[in-house]
């Protein structure tokens, strides 16, 4: 398959965790626009319904379900409900996340540390395990994990987040090696500074003006990224165009990581 046809996701079933806002929403909409049936799994029912309506307007089958990714017992059940509603999962996007701004290890709470690792790292492993069992049986599949610039660079104020996101890169590589013989590609996206609800304070609050200026000075593109730009990367990694791409972490950062 070559040309634009390689990016066509018609007939594929995708799950996007945390798909009801920000980068997750943009990825869910991008996959649907490429032809996939998309399920969003996230905690807020009202936001889930809003994005589900957007997906329905695109014209693809959709499904929304409430899931707290730190609830281990609920993960396999949620994946099972998606498969009953839409069919076997072809694409899994592990996007759900949170931020624990502890201020550093000296101020890090046990609860914040445990929650960050459970939300980002453990949930990614468990969701991938559940989806990969179905993918393995059919000899194909795509798993896309959300890494971060803090997978690469230190983050003094967010040690739990940085540790979890660093782990995502290594988990991605490990799963890529394991699952490649089964026709499953595993990759990660590392967003740079993206304009979302979570980053609004850094963009808009005058108290963060110097921090914002530092980010823009370090970003060769000279601007904040848009969530939709992560959506495009996800469509590529989910498509046949990336069938020989596995184990990578793809920066979507306007060049921030080049410096």
Active site residues: 161
Spell 222-232 as b/e; 16+ CB within 10 A means b: eebbebebbbb
**Residue 123 · residue 114 · CB < 8 Å:** no
- Alpha-carbon gap, residue 156 to 141, rounded angstroms: 36
Report in angstroms the alpha-carbon separations of 43 from 13, 20, 48, 71, 175.
21, 9, 8, 11, 26
User: CB neighbours of 237 closer than 8 A, spacing ≥ 6?
Assistant: 142, 144, 185, 187, 189, 245, 250
Are the beta carbons of 246 and 187 closer than 8 angstroms? yes
Q: What tokens were used for 165?
A: 């996101």
Angstrom distance (rounded) from CA 76 to CA 82: 10
180 and 245 Cβ atoms separated by less than 8 Å: no
User: Using an 8 Å Cβ cutoff, are 78 and 41 in contact?
Assistant: yes
């Amino acid at each position: 398959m070559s040309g634009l046809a390689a990016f066509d996701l018609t007939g594929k079933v995708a799950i996007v965790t945390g798909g009801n806002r920000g980068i997750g929403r943009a990825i869910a909409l991008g996959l649907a626009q490429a032809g996939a049936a998309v399920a969003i799994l996230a905690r807020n029912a009202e936001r889930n319904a809003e994005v589900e309506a957007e997906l329905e307007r695109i014209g693809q089958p959709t499904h929304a379900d409430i899931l707290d990714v730190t609830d281990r017992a609920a993960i396999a059940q949620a994946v099972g409900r998606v498969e009953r509603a839409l069919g076997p999962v072809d694409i899994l996007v592990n996007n759900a996340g949170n931020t624990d701004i502890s201020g550093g290890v000296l101020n890090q709470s046990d609860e914040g540390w445990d929650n960050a690792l459970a939300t980002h790292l453990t949930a990614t492993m468990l969701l991938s395990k559940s989806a990969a069992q179905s993918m393995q049986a059919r000899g194909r599949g795509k798993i896309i994990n959300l890494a971060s610039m803090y997978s690469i660079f230190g983050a003094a104020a967010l040690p739990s987040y940085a540790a979890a996101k660093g782990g995502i890169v290594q988990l991605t590589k490990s799963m890529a090696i394991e699952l490649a013989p089964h026709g499953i590609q595993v990759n990660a996206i590392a967003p740079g500074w993206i304009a979302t609800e979570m980053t609004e304070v850094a963009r808009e609050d005058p108290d963060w003006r110097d921090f914002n200026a530092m980010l823009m000075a370090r970003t060769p593109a000279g601007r904040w990224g848009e969530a939709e730009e992560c959506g495009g990367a996800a469509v590529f990694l989910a498509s046949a165009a990336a069938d020989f791409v596995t184990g990578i972490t793809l920066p979507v950062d306007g060049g921030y990581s080049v410096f």
